[in-house]
């Protein structure tokens, strides 16, 4: 049986000191009892300090992105080799914001293209993370325009196939896929539960085609996009939703603890 997982993506929020306090307050709210996999994903600069907490606490460390080369003239990039130094357990790849697709646009549209990456670069990142033993969390999701055009399943299948191109089934048993409809990220709008379940079941079907039935059965599929304490239990109780990738709500330690409790209650 797949175990539940909840990951908190802090995005570009919190200093190192603020992040440390957040994790400590979350652990206090949980009474240091965290019986499922919980990942905190801080900004790069906070990783060394948060890594120290993760070494002695029942939470795992994640990173928000990675570059696919070990070293070189790649200003501002961070390599898997560098993440490995701080014992990062997980890393996001293909988040809609690194793809240049934003739910709630907070920057001028003229700058969005500078964030964009492709299925090819995501594929390279996944392969490099696996080389260093860091588990990738592959993010997939459609924009509002793609959903309204009836292309949700097509877009997500294409993203999965491109990201996993050239990988053998044996390499994918610990893969995590997070379905985040772009139109629900940071907007307060959540994909209704039956549709979230339907899309996550489609993700599992595509994984069976790309890899095999065992990979599809074992893969943990998360839902992301305005996950909150009020909707977490209903979402996490669905048969193909194995937890959540939580954005803004992960910045509130008590609220994040409530979301984790929902995952435990849903069958952690």
Q: How confident is the model at residue 224 (pLDDT cuts 50, 70, 90)?
A: very high
DSSP codes joined into one string, 214-235: HHHHH-EEEEESS--HHHHHHH
Q: Which residue has the tokens 């994984």?
A: 207
Secondary element (H or E) of residue 244: strand 243-246
Overall average pLDDT of the 200-208 stretch: 98
Percent of the chain surpassing pLDDT 90: 87
How far is 155 from 70, CA to CA, in rounded Å? 30
For residue 70, what pLDDT is reported?
98
For residue 108, what pLDDT is reported?
85
How far is 186 from 105, CA to CA, in rounded Å? 9
As annotated, the active-site residues are 95, 180
Q: Which residue has the higher pLDDT, 108 or 206?
A: 206
CB 39 within 8 A of CB 50: no
Q: How confident is the model at residue 116 (pLDDT cuts 50, 70, 90)?
A: confident
List all residues 6 or more positions away from 87 whose beta carbon is below 8 Å from its beta carbon: 51, 54, 55, 61
Question: Which ranges of 105-174 would DSSP assign to H, the alpha helix?
Answer: 119-131, 144-148, 152-163
For residue range 75-97, list pLDDT tens digits in order: 999 999 999 999 999 999 999 99
- Nearest residue to 218 (alpha-carbon basis) of 62, 28, 11, 1: 1
For residue range 168-191, list pLDDT tens digits in order: 999 999 899 999 999 888 787 779
For residue range 43-57, list pLDDT tens digits in order: 999 999 999 999 999
On average, the pLDDT of the chain sits at 95
Q: How confident is the model at residue 268 (pLDDT cuts 50, 70, 90)?
A: low
CATH, domain range 5-265: 3.20.20.70
The distance of Cα 87 from the centroid of its chain, to the nearest Å, equals 18
How is the chain split into domains, by residue range? 5-265
For residue 135, what pLDDT is reported?
98
């Amino acid at each position: 049986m797949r175990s539940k997982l909840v990951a908190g993506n802090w995005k570009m929020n919190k200093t190192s000191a603020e992040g440390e306090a957040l994790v400590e307050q979350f652990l206090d709210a949980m009474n240091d009892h965290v019986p499922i996999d919980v990942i905190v994903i801080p900004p790069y600069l906070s990783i060394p300090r948060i890594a120290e907490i993760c070494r002695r606490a029942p939470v795992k460390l994640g990173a928000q992105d990675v570059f696919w080369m070990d070293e070189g003239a790649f200003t501002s990039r961070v390599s898997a080799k560098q993440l490995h130094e701080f014992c990062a357990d997980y890393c996001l790849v293909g988040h809609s914001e690194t793809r240049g697709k934003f739910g709630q646009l907070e920057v001028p549209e003229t700058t969005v293209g500078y964030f964009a990456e492709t299925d090819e670069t995501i594929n390279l990142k996944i392969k490099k993370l696996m080389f260093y033993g860091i588990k990738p969390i592959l993010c997939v999701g459609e924009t509002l325009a793609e959903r309204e055009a009836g292309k949700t399943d097509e877009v997500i299948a294409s993203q999965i196939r491109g990201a996993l191109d050239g990988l053998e089934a044996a390499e994918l048993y610990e893969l995590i896929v997070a379905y985040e409809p772009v139109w629900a990220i940071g907007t307060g709008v959540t994909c209704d539960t039956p549709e979230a379940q339907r899309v996550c079941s489609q993700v599992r079907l595509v994984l069976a085609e790309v890899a095999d039935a065992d990979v599809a059965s074992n893969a943990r599929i998360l839902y992301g996009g305005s996950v909150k304490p009020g909707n977490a239990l209903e979402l996490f109780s669905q048969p193909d939703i194995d937890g959540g990738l939580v954005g803004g709500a992960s910045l509130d330690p008590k609220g994040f603890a409530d979301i984790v409790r929902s995952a435990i209650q849903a069958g952690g």
